[in-house]
Amino acid sequence: MIAVLRAESKEMALRTIDAVVQGGITGLEITFTIPDAESVIKETVSAYQNNSDIVIGAGTVLDVITARIAIMSGAEFIVSPAFDQDIAELCNLYQVPYLPGCMTVTEMTAALRSGVDIIKLFPSNHFEPGFINAIKAPLPQVNIMPTGGINLDNIEQWVTAGSVAVGVGGSLFAPAKHGNYTKVTQIAKEYIDKFNEIKMVCQ
């Protein structure tokens, strides 16, 4: 499970990250819509350098320059809203996983040819979970991570449909806008408990 973090300030971002980690979510996507996102990545990497369970990546990476800044700041994976060949090549050069957003078979096959291991189905709220099965018919090797519109009510449908991972954002971070970081921790725990429960059933 990847927590897709958006925040209105650096301070809000750092406090929200701590709240999410306390709730048990260990996959963090720090988006470049956050002010001073580069510093947020660096400080988060430093804060959790002794916790090997925490995986920190960069999101909303729109160009190769931003991708390199993110990697040099310590990002362990790069996420884009759309596939970009130059970003794919840079990530391959540094051996950093690249997760581009795709919506069509054409986009997905182009991403696979460029060495992409996980494709972000984005925005997933425009699809039904059964879309994964439809895609896997001609492309059984594709790993799909739906992002956008994932919540506690539909996460089970997406995971059981064959998602390799899920990206969660808006519903998880909403309380942070009002300074309620305790609530963020509570919701994060609900998400991770639900996710682990689903995975146990699927095994």
Which of 29, 42, 156, 197 is labelled catalytic?
A: 29
Using CA atoms, how far apart are residues 122 and 125, in angstroms rounded to an integer?
A: 8
Query: Is 142:112 a contact under the CB 8 Å cutoff?
Result: yes
Residue 79: count of CB within 10 angstroms of its CB: 29
Which of 89, 120, 189, 199 is labelled catalytic?
A: 120
Q: Is 128 a catalytic residue?
A: no
Q: Is 8 a catalytic residue?
A: no
**Residues with catalytic function:** 29, 120
